[in-house]
A and B are shown apart, each in its own frame.
Chain A
């Protein structure tokens, strides 16, 4: 069967390719998203002291190291069986919110905005961040400033913006200083202005992307996210909850190692990325989605004033849950707004400058599990240690793995909508890439990105003859 290969997929975090199989009539028969890099972190940490895990795990990725640092520290807290000081928990939450802000800003402004601002069919020579800079300089400046804000918070609290070492098992290594708090607070009004402006602009554009809304991984699926007693947006504390596409709860109060009863992981022959599924339904029927879309679908309120206003409007998009993955972009902007507002509230909490920020203990459990909502979705770290506190086994379930089945399903859906055989057009292939971009998959790439990525797509007919080719 003829195959179109998009290799690599551009403007995502990592190295991946897409293959689209077409039949003799030029109709799409199948499509797959393949991750072509291997990292092996679960294996290489075996034998290391568990106390090293947060710093080691943060090296998985240069985009969201803080998320791994936090999930890992929570797993270590569990091994030590400690309840960390309240101030430390609040400081960790601020770090998580800053991580969400900077990562979402990167996804929206740097990676995806060329598609929205310049159009899916624009010349690829123009459809990039410099095209945005030329045509919409204020939007580009705002994007840079917003990401800078998130990174500055990470740097101010963690000492460095990438791989900060401030978060440790038991809490954080040192308290927040008043002048650092005030520096962050001073930047909040501008960060909110930028986010609100981006939201206003994006909402005005949705009408221009009706075809993408209809076909970008727009299907019923379950959703997974953290939940809590208040049913407010929860990114740090709580338990795991699965809901169906009508938002009925199908599994709830999942904590600790209990996740193994609900989340299965399947290996694929053609990808280094595992496919995660809802175990009670099996691999075939157990697809679910995580991340901003899941979180906004599942929470009853954001818990902050401006984000709640936006959430109410977001809910009006569809009658029940919002199912089109094109709206991940929209959800990301609302989450940025929520994160800034929540950060503001936490920084105004008098306890935030408290000096008791770390609990100390030796291992009290042989196993520890840490959950967290990372920018792209639910992140799970699970460690087992031996009598000497050395790691016997580690399991990390990452957001992009949770979304893998849905990404593949979405790639097939969009390929069927836009790819018509015989003649390839840049716009249609860009849409196949763009549905992957909507999920903002992170493939842990930061240390080996290649810069100007080549794209070579060949359309080969049933006889093996190349009948069309696109290169950039």
Chain B
């Protein structure tokens, strides 16, 4: 399952959502979820897949850079309200439904998050790299874990 999330009206915050649209034709067997933000309701859906790839934008690194992080087996869901992070969602799936998939978080660093549509040049670079990288990660997933 690939889950892209972000606000398409906040510049590079749209990275995750745009990545989902581009990845859809490249991974015909995957399930795709494109949302404004993560919500607890996704926890149940997560229990039906073996691998979850969360795709998000960040501002905490060099613009254009892409990072992949394997998400820990035990997350922190203490702050769960209507704003949820991937680790909290996985923890919720484990606690409520007994299982959660292996998961990774792919983040692309954006350069601008002001109120407008469309990516910056660096945001576009990150998007290209995400779309190159994610199919490889999904393909190699059984060997990696």
Shortest B43–chain A CB gap in Å is 7
Q: Are A129 and B96 in contact (CB under 8 A)?
A: no
How distant is the Cα of A142 from the Cα of B83 in the complex, in angstroms?
A: 19
Contact B79 A63 (CB under 8 A): no
- Residues in A with CB closer than 8 Å to B92 are 130, 133
Q: Are A452 and B40 in contact (CB under 8 A)?
A: no
A63 to B39 alpha-carbon distance, docked (Å): 11
Q: Is the CB of A133 within 8 A of B78?
A: no
A446 nearest CB across to chain B (Å): 7
A447 close to chain B: CB less than 8 A: yes
Query: Please, which residue of chain B has its CB at the minimum distance from the CB of A453?
Result: B79
Query: In the complex the two chains form, is B81's CB within 8 Å of A447's CB?
Result: no
Q: Are B82 and A13 in contact (CB under 8 A)?
A: yes
**B97 to chain A: which residues have CB within 8 Å?**
141
Q: Are A446 and B37 in contact (CB under 8 A)?
A: yes
- Of listed B7, B37, B80, residue having the most chain A CB within 10 A: B80
Q: Are A452 and B78 in contact (CB under 8 A)?
A: yes
**How long is the Cα–Cα vector from A452 to B76 in the complex, in angstroms?**
10
Q: Is B29 an interface position by the 8 A CB rule?
A: no
Assess whether B41 is in contact with A151, with CB atoms less than 8 Å apart: yes
Question: Closest A-chain residue to B84, C-beta based?
Answer: A451
**Which A-chain residue is minimally distant from B9 (CB atoms)?**
A59
A148 to B35, CA, bound (A): 14
Query: Does A11 contact B96, Cβ atoms closer than 8 Å?
Result: no
- Interchain CA distance A110-B97 in the complex, whole Å: 17
Q: Does B91 contact A (CB under 8 A)?
A: yes
Any B CB within 8 A of the CB of A128 = yes
How far is the CB of A106 from the nearest CB of chain B, in Å?
6
Q: Give the complex CA separation of A442 and B80 in angstroms.
A: 17
State A93–B39 Cα separation when bound (angstroms).
25
Kindly identify which residue among B7, B35, B77, B79 contacts A133, using a CB–CB cutoff of 8 Å: B77
> Bound complex: CA of A134 vs CA of B92, how far in Å?
10
Given contacts A130-B95, A446-B36, contact A144 B44 (CB under 8 A): yes
Decide if the interface of chain A is mainly helix, strand, loop or mixed: helix
Does A163 reach chain B (CB closer than 8 Å)?
A: yes
With an 8 A cutoff between CB atoms, is A459 at the interface?
A: no
- Is there an interface contact between A128 and B79, defined as CB atoms closer than 8 Å? yes
Known: A133-B95, A144-B40. A11 touches B80 (CB 8 A): no
In the complex, the number of residue pairs spanning A and B with C-beta atoms less than 8 Å apart equals 71
Q: Determine whether A269 belongs to the interface, using a CB cutoff of 8 Å to chain B.
A: no
Residues of A within 8 A of B39 (CB): 151
Q: Are B95 and A452 in contact (CB under 8 A)?
A: no
| Cα distance, A179 to B83, chains bound together (Å) | 32
Q: Are B78 and A130 in contact (CB under 8 A)?
A: yes
Closest Cβ of chain B: how far from A426's Cβ, in Å?
Answer: 15
Q: Which residue of B lies closest to A12 (CB)?
A: B81
Q: Closest CB-CB distance, B8 to chain A, in whole Å?
A: 10
- Sorting the interface of chain B by its residue count into under 10, 10 to 19, 20 to 34 or 35 or more gives 20 to 34
- A11 CA to B81 CA, complexed, in Å: 6
User: Is B99 at the interface (CB under 8 A from chain A)?
Assistant: no
A111 at interface by CB-CB < 8 Å: yes
Q: Is the CB of A63 within 8 A of B82?
A: yes
Q: Which residue of A lies closest to B7 (CB)?
A: A447
Option from A134, A163, A446, A447 in Cβ contact (under 8 Å) with B95 = A134
Question: Given contacts A144-B44, A147-B41, A148-B41, is CB(A137)–CB(B79) below 8 Å?
Answer: no
A15 to B7, CA, bound (A): 19
Report how far A140 CA is from B41 CA in the complex, Å. 11
* Residue of B35, B78, B95 with most chain A CB atoms under a 10 A cut-off: B78
The answer on a CB contact under 8 Å between B96 and A111 is no
Interface residues of B in 7-48 (CB under 8 A from A): 7, 9-10, 35-37, 39-41, 43-44
Chain B hits for A140, CB < 8 A: 96
A449 in contact (CB, < 8 A): yes
A450 in the interface (beta carbon within 8 A): yes
Instruction: Tell me the nearest residue of chain A to B91, going by C-beta.
Output: A130
Q: A130-B95, A133-B95 are in contact. Are A106 and B44 (CB under 8 A)?
A: no
* Chain B residues closer than 8 Å to A130, beta-carbon distance: 77-78, 80, 91-92, 95
Interface check B120, CB cutoff 8 A? no
Distance of A62 Cα from B97 Cα, bound (Å): 27
In the complex, whether A263 has a CB less than 8 A from a CB of chain B is: no
* Least CB distance, A288 to chain B, in whole angstroms: 28
Assess whether B85 is interfacial by the CB under 8 Å rule: yes
Report which residue of B7, B41, B79, B95 has the largest number of chain A beta carbons within 10 angstroms of its beta carbon: B41
User: Which A residues touch B41, using CB under 8 A?
Assistant: 144, 147-148, 151
* The one of A62, A128, A147 that contacts B37, using a Cβ cutoff of 8 Å: A62
Question: Are A449 and B83 touching (Cβ within 8 A)?
Answer: yes
Choose from A111, A125, A137, A163 the contact partner of B81 (Cβ within 8 Å).
A111
Q: What is the 8 Å Cβ interface bit string for chain A, positions 414-456, against chain B (1 contact, 0 not)?
A: 0000000000000000000000000000000011011111000
Contact partners of B78 in chain A: CB under 8 A: 125, 128, 130, 452
Query: Does chain B have a CB within 8 A of A84?
Result: no
Q: State A105–B84 Cα separation when bound (angstroms).
A: 17
Most chain B C-beta atoms within 10 Å of own C-beta, residue among A10, A145, A446, A452: A452
A137 to B79, CA, bound (A): 17
| 5 A–B contacts from the bound complex (CB under 8 Å) | A129-B77, A147-B41, A151-B41, A449-B37, A453-B79
Known contacts A129-B40, A140-B96, A162-B35; 4 additional CB pairs below 8 A are A63-B82, A133-B96, A134-B95, A451-B85
Q: B interface vs A, CB < 8 Å?
A: 7, 9-10, 35-37, 39-41, 43-44, 77-83, 85, 91-92, 95-97
List 7 A-B pairs, minimum CB-CB distance, nearest first: A449-B83, A452-B79, A129-B80, A148-B41, A130-B77, A162-B36, A133-B95
